[in-house]
Amino acid sequence: MPKINWFWIAFSFLITLGAIMLACPRTVSGQQVISAKAGLLHYFEGDVFVDGVVVKESRTEFAQLKELQLFSTENGRAEILLAPGMFLRMGENCAIKFWSVRLDAPSVFIPHNEKTCVIVFDFLDVPKDTVFWFEYDYWLFDIHKKGVYHFSTNSPNTSAVLRVLSGEAYTDQMEEFIGKLPKGKSLILKEPRVSVVKLEKNFSDEITRWSKRRDSYLAAANVWAAKNAFERFTEYGYRQSNFWYWNPYFGMYTFIPGRGNIDCYWGFRFFNPRGAANYYNWVGSQNAYPRGNQPQNVQPAPTYGYRPDLGYTVGPRGSWSESSNSPPGTAAASPRTSESASPREGSKGGRGR
């Protein structure tokens, strides 16, 4: 009977394992490489176009929009990354051009459109010394603070409306400063008159609700990503600025604050790396103590759950997390299959993120 050479068997196994790992690039650190410019097309549903050419789906590559390129949606929707923590979300029948894709000064031009177009600027945080502005007709709008800004064109009986759900915007007309538009106000552009009115009570529309669902997915993806980023600090060094981070389990980038945890407009929490690590450490400490002897004055651990009105959620304070979690032994609805997150009828679906 021939003698078995265990050394060569182990060596062959390690070579095979290394080849398998190299063949799976989505789970390695190479996915953390992201453009140093604004304008990354992160997610889309339906048909979207760059200079009239349809954008093809890809699970591993993201289109980087360039300055002066015309990006448009017909029966589609799109989510574009600006500076870390700043999202631009477009509804159907919209078009934009980037005047600048600099991270510290992104700027967008919105051309006239014969159909109604809705764009939501969802800014979870605006990095220090970063200024965003967008242009429509001869109007300029500067945004310096975190918040949710809803802009629509060709609404009934108006040319355009800017609604400030939270935050504040500054308005210029023909390079002449008009004033500040605070939270809870709407600027109605109806030539030749312009008026500022109170925001409609409980205002919401299809794109605003879609933006809320997107934030819920990003918040759920943030928990693992922030903890993983903390564990990799020894390799990359500690970051004190906002950054994007790849979550291979969700197949998407998510936002990680550099300092402190951040709650978005709809209440979903985004953890910074140290905050996520503290929560996970709290879970370990609870398991190490007998029931009733756990440490006091600590926050509960983040929990996952799904609610029809919120989508995927993270319960940062334990206020509703127990009641919102799926019953034991049942899986929460998938963001790709849940009714609230599914594409509208006639849509071709979206990238798997």
Range of the domain at 280: 207-341
Cα 163 to Cα 152, 153, 268: the distances in Å are 9, 12, 21
Per the CB < 8 A criterion, the answer to whether 73 and 90 are in contact is: yes
106 within a domain of the structure (yes/no):
yes
Is the same domain home to 194 and 231?
Answer: no
Tell which of 203, 233, 249 closes a domain: 203
Mean pLDDT of 37-61: 89
CA gap 281, 273 in Å, rounded: 12
Q: What is the 3-state secondary structure (H, E, C) of the chain?
A: CCCCCHHHHHHHHHHHHHHHHHCCHHHCHHHHCCCCCCCEEEEEECCEEECCEECCCCCCCCCECCECCEEEECCCEEEEECCCCEEEEECCCCEEEEEECCCCCCEEEECCCCCCEEEEEEECCCCCCCCEEEEECCEEEEECCCEEEEEEECCCCCCEEEEEEECCEEEEECCEEEEEECCCEEEEEECCEEEEEECCCCCCCHHHHHHHHHHHHHHHHHHHHHHHHHHCHHHHCCCCCCEEEEECCCCEEEEECCCCCEECCCCCEECCHHHHHHHHHHHHHHHHCCCCCCCCCCCCCCCEEEECCCEEEECCCCCCHHHHCCCCCCCCCCCCCCHHHCCCCCCCCECCC
pLDDT in tens, 303-315: 444 344 444 444 4
Domain at 142, CATH number = 2.60.120.1440
Would you place residue 268 in the very low, low, confident or very high pLDDT band (cuts 50, 70, 90)? Answer: very high
Q: List the beta bridge partners of residue 193.
A: 190
Is the same domain home to 169 and 270?
Answer: no
Cis check for the bond before 192: say yes or no (omega within 30 of 0): yes
Would you place residue 61 in the very low, low, confident or very high pLDDT band (cuts 50, 70, 90)? Answer: confident
Mean pLDDT of 256-260: 88
Q: pTM of the entire structure? A: 0.73
Dihedral angle of Cα 266, 131, 183, 86, to the nearest 10 degrees? -10
4 within a domain of the structure (yes/no):
no
Per-residue pLDDT, 314:
46
Is the same domain home to 255 and 130?
Answer: no
Domain count, the chain: 2
- With a pLDDT cut of 70, the percent of the chain lying above it is 65
Is the same domain home to 99 and 223?
Answer: no
pLDDT in tens, 8-47: 656 566 565 555 444 443 333 335 546 589 999 999 999 9
148 within a domain of the structure (yes/no):
yes
Tell which of 183, 203, 223 closes a domain: 203
pLDDT in tens, 290-299: 444 444 554 4
Tell which of 178, 203, 228 closes a domain: 203
CA gap 53, 49 in Å, rounded: 5
350 within a domain of the structure (yes/no):
no
pLDDT in tens, 242-251: 999 999 989 8
Per-residue pLDDT, 23:
41
**Averaged pLDDT of the chain:** 75
Of residues 308 and 253, which shows the higher confidence score?
Answer: 253
Question: Burial of 252 by CB count in 10 Å (0-12 exposed, 13-18 middle, 19+ buried)?
Answer: buried
Per-residue pLDDT, 267:
92
Per-residue pLDDT, 8:
60
Per-residue pLDDT, 159:
80
Is the same domain home to 238 and 126?
Answer: no
Per-residue pLDDT, 190:
78
Is the same domain home to 183 and 219?
Answer: no
Matching residue, tokens 């009733």: 292
Is the same domain home to 165 and 296?
Answer: no
Task: Return the ∠ at Cα 253 (arms to 285 and 249), rounded to 5°.
Answer: 60
Is the same domain home to 155 and 67?
Answer: yes
346 within a domain of the structure (yes/no):
no
285 within a domain of the structure (yes/no):
yes
16 within a domain of the structure (yes/no):
no
Of residues 321 and 308, which shows the higher confidence score?
Answer: 308
48 within a domain of the structure (yes/no):
yes
Is the same domain home to 197 and 246?
Answer: no
Per the CB < 8 A criterion, the answer to whether 221 and 247 are in contact is: yes
Of residues 61 and 235, which shows the higher confidence score?
Answer: 61
Is the same domain home to 182 and 214?
Answer: no
Q: Give which of 117, 211, 209 is closest to 160, Cα–Cα.
A: 117
Is the same domain home to 189 and 215?
Answer: no
Is the same domain home to 268 and 323?
Answer: yes
